[in-house]
Structure 1
């Protein structure tokens, strides 16, 4: 089938394609109407879009958390202890006892 033929012809009864089969107009592809096929649809107001959402959210959150925790937790714990040590050291050096201990080293 040559696509330019379909674009120029705009449908109609002209034979198209390798085997001279007409595909039908837009939205109605196929020559023969299908019979014996039953389809059912559910209206949008009858669907339950949040079915299982809470259950899936809990387990998906746990899966994502457990796969990333070893990348995040050790640096955070190390940073916390380092910052805690630095704050305590700074408070000691700026206290009366710290100044008395390192009085002569600043010169």
Structure 2
């Protein structure tokens, strides 16, 4: 059964984090990390690289923390970067609830 997404009531309440992939001219795949504030759909960052592991994602979130603050909730899928123990610990330390879709 599908569930309706929680609708945030203010900035920094819920962020969505996701990856997109594409290929370079030489066949190598690159990843694009997108972080969006779900309240106003503001794109907080877009990072491109050949690889964006969990530690890189944490570094990006730390950067956002400096000038934007952090959300109460982060929505993300079940990709390997998002189910990392390191990311889970970082979110707990920063009092952020991780929300993964029901499968």
TM-score (norm. length: structure 1): 0.18
Larger Rg: 1
Q: Which of structures 1 and 2 has the larger relative contact order (alpha carbons within 8 angstroms, sep 6+)?
A: 2
Length-normalised TM-score, structure 2: 0.19
